[in-house]
Amino acid sequence: MRHTSDHLEEGVDVGEQTLPTACSSVSRAGHGDLLRFSKILDLSHDLLILAECSNGRIVDGNRTACTRLGYEYDQLTRLHLDRILSSRVMERVRGMLTLQGAEFAEITGELITSFGEGIPGEIVLQRMLREDACYLAVVIRDSGRLMRVQEDKLRLEQQLLEARRMETIITFAGGLAHDFNNLLQIVSGNIQILGLKNRDANLKRHIQAIEQATLTASQLVQRLRTISRKGERSKHLVHLNDVIREVLRLRKQHIPEKVVVDLQLDSSLPGILADGVHMEQLFFNLLQNALDALDGQGRIHVATCLQELSSEDAHAYGDLKPGPYVRFSFADTGQGMVEEVRTRIFEPFFTTKKAGEGTGLGLSTVYAIVRDHEGHVTCRSVPGQGTTFRFLFPAVPEAAVPQEHRGMDSQA
């Protein structure tokens, strides 16, 4: 606010002030004194406006008022109240502009922006007198902003609960993998001894079948351990575009003819500090999941770009820091998922496939890799329309990467 009071009472919180208290302290000051507290009132999220009672002309407004109403300060102070208050609010205001009207009122109504947009809010009106000068203080609390703040709070709480739940599941999976691996070592060792001592060809076939099952179980354990580990592998500069192209090249023969893969890759995309093998595993799992959902025909769209997160943007994600990020999206036109399924897709062992057709570790591995790389993943899915995954990984300028971590391709 360019012009405000130097006599606000001690202990008043401008952002959440008791409005009659703040206004009553202002009412003891003159317009000249009202002009000197601009920096404090500019911090308020409420819209603060001061007008002359004689003609309704606005003589002052804080930064929030200018921003939300869409005016520069010198534009706002050339307006009258009827330009920013709805006709219903003005009916109440006109009575207060006279000395015969009420000195204080609280109402709900709309403000009108320079674009003609209506902003609903809680409006407090306070008439203030000083000798022969009369002013009307108008304080508006943006109802939409309060709702957005509450929604953001609930969303962040939900993200925290979800992260804690996933950490619990992943910790459990890691413990399970450790115990299961110990049992497998015993089984594998005894099978090898049995195979060496036994000469019966028919029995050897059964022993070999057990060995193969043990090997498969061991690979399953390794995938579980990948999910539960964090930050144990070395990381190098990895270019995500190269990872995507390489996996698609290796899997080309396994992609049905009626499945179209669209690439929209930013050629100027910076690298990320990552484990290249894990990045390949992430994309491979996404590709396999999409091919299963498409059932032989459809479209896959893969896109990368650079995205700069402001402090406000990073706060919305809950677990990210402001700065540049590599954004990677993976979408398919498959069968999609209902909400009950979508909320569980990153859980280890969760699968909608028939028994024996999937381990339920593909997307949980994706989640673990993202977590290990300080990234973020979201999933949106609509039944009958498809699924879209969006990833953010901290971008790393090559100049900022130590020499020993440079020059590594996606095989690092």
Query: pLDDT of 271-325, one tens digit each?
Result: 999 988 889 889 999 999 999 999 889 999 999 999 999 887 887 787 788 999 9
0.75 exceeded by pTM? no
How long is the chain? 412
For residue 285, which of 240, 249, 245, 251 has the smallest C-alpha distance?
A: 251
Q: Where in the chain is the domain with CATH 3.30.565.10?
A: 232-412
Q: DSSP letter for 159, please.
A: H
- Give the residue, 410 or 282, on which the prediction is more confident: 282
Across 171-180, 225-234, 297-306, 340-349, the highest mean pLDDT is recorded for 297-306
- Higher-confidence residue of 314 and 85: namely 85
- The DSSP-derived string for 350-402 is ---SPTTS--S-HHHHHHHHHHHTT-EEEEEEETTTEEEEEEEEEEE-GGGS-
Of residues 252 and 350, more confidently modeled:
252
Residue type at 94? R
User: CATH homologous superfamily for 19-143?
Assistant: PAS domain (3.30.450.20)
Scanning 110-200, the segments in alpha helix (DSSP H) are: 143-197
Question: What is the number of alpha carbons within 13 Å of residue 31 lying toward its C-beta?
Answer: 17
- Say if domain 232-412 classifies as CATH 3.40.50.2000: no
Flag whether pLDDT at 101 surpasses 90. no
pLDDT value at position 301?
Answer: 96
Q: What per-residue confidence (pLDDT) applies to 409?
A: 46
> Given a cut of 90, is residue 162 above it in pLDDT?
no
Does the structure show a pLDDT above 90 at 165?
Answer: no
Q: What is the mean pLDDT of the chain?
A: 78
Percent of the chain at pLDDT exceeding 70: 71
Phi, psi dihedrals of residue 95, rounded to the nearest 5°: -65, -35
The reported pLDDT for the residue numbered 317 is: 80
State phi, psi for 378 to the nearest 5 degrees. -130, 155
Every domain range in the chain assigned CATH 3.30.450.20: 19-143
Quick check: 99 and 75 in contact, CB under 8 A? no
3-state secondary structure 37-69: CHHHHCCCCCEEEEEECCCCEEEEECHHHHHHH
Q: Are 28 and 7 in contact (CB under 8 A)?
A: yes
Burial class from Cβ neighbours inside 10 Å (0-12, 13-18, 19+) for residue 342 reads middle
- Name which of 18-32, 320-334, 357-371 the model is least confident about: 18-32
Query: How many other CB atoms sit within 10 Å of the CB of residue 406?
Result: 12
Over range 369-398, report the average pLDDT: 91
CA separation for the pair 53, 254 (Å, rounded): 77
Per-residue pLDDT, averaged over 214-239, amounts to: 70
pLDDT band at 358, cuts 50/70/90?
low
pLDDT at site 98: 75
Give me the mean pLDDT over the 66-80 stretch.
91
Could you tell me what percent of the chain has a pLDDT over 90? 26
